[in-house]
């Protein structure tokens, strides 16, 4: 089972720590369906490059993302040349099944909980089909994830976990609708099964990789009730409307939430309607940040540049707003029309897609014709935003927004450690010692949320989001 490396993660000189964060949980989940006497290996090329040599297994499973498609096809072709059966699946394969089928013996589209066991049974009988597509969407009876196949030493966050599939929202730039076509697009495990999986994980720290852990309120509330008292510290992703929902955030914090990834996406309100980001429309972004900080939760904010309502000033305005809110970390993207999305279809119909070099569909390059600014302005602005947000003076400014000294120190430590110490992260990755930083991460996360929410000073209460986002 192979997770091919993203093209940007293969540099012999430097690899950011984000490529050594999480193990290939999807492949480890599929491995749970294998027989006890099956011999299986999981190979994650982000942390260990695969050398083919004389490797001739009976079956190879490859899971490509869009910017690893070229490498995935290279591996698939090499194995097929040795008469090894190759099966491919995942987001990119579901979006472009015919492209993938040119390099694989079997293509699986959509989630694999129903189709993967069916394929295995056919393969053992010697009659595997060329195509399988998921229609029955359920996580009932999901076997335990084969975490024994994962080398925990290679990952900062080995305790990643997924307890749901998909998302209840339908944003135009998201892969989800194409991936889940033909069945339910959002569903969860049973709470008991999720809690059992959490119980199997050692240590304190967890990272929920669910697209929207708070998307089903009833499930989330029952999960958090079950987690209360476990002593876990965890990070997850949620939406602005779920943060503002009465009582839900408080339950998550009581269960151990200490950091939340939030898709703000844009500070231009007109962009939200154009991309069907309806869960953000009319929301007070500043209130979202205040609410998280008042509960002792760090904010990892996501922003997308290059939507049709953006002009050359969007980069500085976005960065200034994020710093003024005291956001701890931010992730910036150039809008990228992935194949299979409504955004791609709309841009392709308008003749705005520049090429199909999937290596460049990495949210760091412009692959379409922008409207409000040039391609050069968009790429330059993207890089400028990262530099501006993570320069020491900006980190100090963000920390200074916190009313308590302890919060300021935590902000400095987390934001500075994430970006300013990347050369040290690179050394730790190459020495297979990155997991040694986990106790420090747990200590830092544990210091968040350890106090009762404090009343903010009047100057903090007066901070509001830019008018376009309210």
pLDDT at 184: 85
What's the chain's length in residues?
A: 470
pTM for this entry: 0.88
Q: Tell me the pLDDT tens digit for each residue of 425-465.
A: 666 666 666 677 677 677 777 776 654 444 444 334 434 44
| More confident site: 100 or 414 | 100
The rounded percent of the chain whose pLDDT value lies above 70 is 86
Chain centroid to Cα 420, Å, comes to 22
d(CA 71, CA 185): 29
- For the chain, what is the largest distance between any 2 Cα atoms, rounded to a whole number of angstroms? 71
pLDDT tens column, 138-188: 898 899 999 999 998 888 889 999 999 988 877 787 878 778 887 888 999
Q: What pLDDT is attached to residue 463?
A: 41
Q: What's the confidence (pLDDT) of residue 11?
A: 67
Q: Are 248 and 288 in contact (CB under 8 A)?
A: no
pLDDT per residue over 43-66, tens digit each? 999 888 888 877 789 999 999 999
CA dihedral 336, 340, 346, 352 (to 10 degrees): 50
What value does the mean pLDDT take over residues 183-201? 93
Q: What pLDDT score does 407 carry? A: 85
- Domain 2-133: assigned CATH number: 3.40.50.280
Q: What average pLDDT does the segment 400-407 reach?
A: 88
CATH number for 156-469 (one of 1.10.10.10, 3.40.630.30, 3.20.20.30, 3.80.30.20): it is 3.80.30.20
Annotated domain spans of the chain:
2-133, 156-469
Mean pLDDT for the chain overall: 87
Q: Give pLDDT, residue 457.
A: 40
What is the structure's pLDDT at 300? Answer: 95
Q: What is the pLDDT of residue 218?
A: 96
The pLDDT > 90 percentage for the chain reads 64
Query: pLDDT at position 144, please?
Result: 93
Nearby residues of 178 by Cβ (< 8 Å), 6 or more positions away: 94, 95, 340, 341
* Helix axes of 314-324 and 392-400: crossing angle, nearest 10 degrees: 50
Q: Show the tokens assigned to 385.
A: 């935003």
Q: What is the per-residue pLDDT across 223-256, written as a single tens digit (0 to 9) for each?
A: 999 999 999 999 999 998 899 999 999 999 999 9
């Amino acid at each position: 089972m192979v997770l091919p490396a993203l093209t940007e993660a293969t540099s012999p000189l430097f690899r950011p720590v984000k490529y050594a964060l999480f193990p290939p949980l999807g492949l480890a989940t599929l491995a749970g369906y294998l027989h006890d006497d099956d011999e299986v290996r999981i190979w994650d090329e982000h942390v260990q490059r695969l050398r083919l040599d004389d490797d001739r297994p009976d079956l190879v499973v490859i899971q490509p993302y869009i910017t690893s498609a070229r490498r995935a096809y290279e591996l698939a072709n090499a194995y097929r040349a040795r008469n090894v059966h190759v099966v491919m699946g995942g987001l990119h394969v579901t979006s472009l099944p015919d492209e993938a089928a040119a390099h694989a013996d079997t293509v699986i589209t959509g989630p694999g909980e129903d189709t993967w066991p069916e394929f295995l049974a056919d393969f053992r009988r010697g009659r595997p089909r060329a195509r399988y597509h998921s229609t029955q969407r359920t996580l009932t009876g999901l076997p335990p994830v084969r975490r024994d196949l994962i080398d925990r030493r290679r990952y900062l966050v080995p305790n990643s976990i997924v307890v749901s599939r998909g998302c209840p929202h339908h944003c135009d730039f998201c892969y989800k609708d194409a991936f889940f076509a033909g069945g339910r697009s959002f569903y969860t495990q049973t709470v008991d099964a999720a809690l059992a999986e959490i119980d199997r994980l050692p240590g304190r720290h967890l990272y929920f990789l669910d697209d929207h852990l708070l998307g089903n309120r009833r499930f989330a509330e029952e999960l958090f009730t079950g987690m209360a008292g476990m002593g876990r510290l965890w990070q997850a992703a949620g939406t602005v409307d779920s943060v503002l929902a009465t009582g839900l955030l408080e339950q998550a914090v009581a269960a151990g939430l200490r950091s939340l990834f939030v898709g703000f996406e844009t500070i231009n309100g007109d962009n939200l309607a154009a991309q069907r980001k309806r869960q953000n429309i009319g929301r007070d972004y500043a209130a979202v940040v205040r609410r998280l900080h008042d509960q002792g939760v760090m904010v990892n904010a996501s922003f997308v540049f290059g939507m049709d309502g953006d002009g050359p000033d969007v980069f500085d305005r976005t960065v200034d707003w994020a710093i003024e809110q005291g956001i701890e970390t931010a992730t910036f993207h150039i809008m990228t029309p992935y194949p299979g999305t409504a955004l791609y279809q709309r841009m392709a119909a308008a003749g705005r897609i520049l090429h199909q070099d999937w290596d460049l569909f990495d949210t760091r390059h412009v692959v379409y014709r922008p409207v409000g600014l040039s391609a050069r302005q968009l790429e330059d602005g993207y890089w400028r935003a990262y530099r501006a947000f993570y320069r020491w003076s900006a980190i100090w400014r963000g920390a200074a927004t916190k009313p308590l000294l302890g919060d300021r120190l935590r902000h400095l430590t987390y934001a500075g450690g994430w970006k300013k110490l990347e050369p040290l992260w690179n050394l730790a990755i190459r020495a297979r010692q990155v997991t040694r930083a986990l106790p420090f991460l747990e200590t830092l996360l544990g210091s968040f949320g350890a106090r009762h929410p404090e009343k903010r000073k009047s100057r903090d209460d007066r901070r509001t989001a830019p008018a376009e986002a309210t």
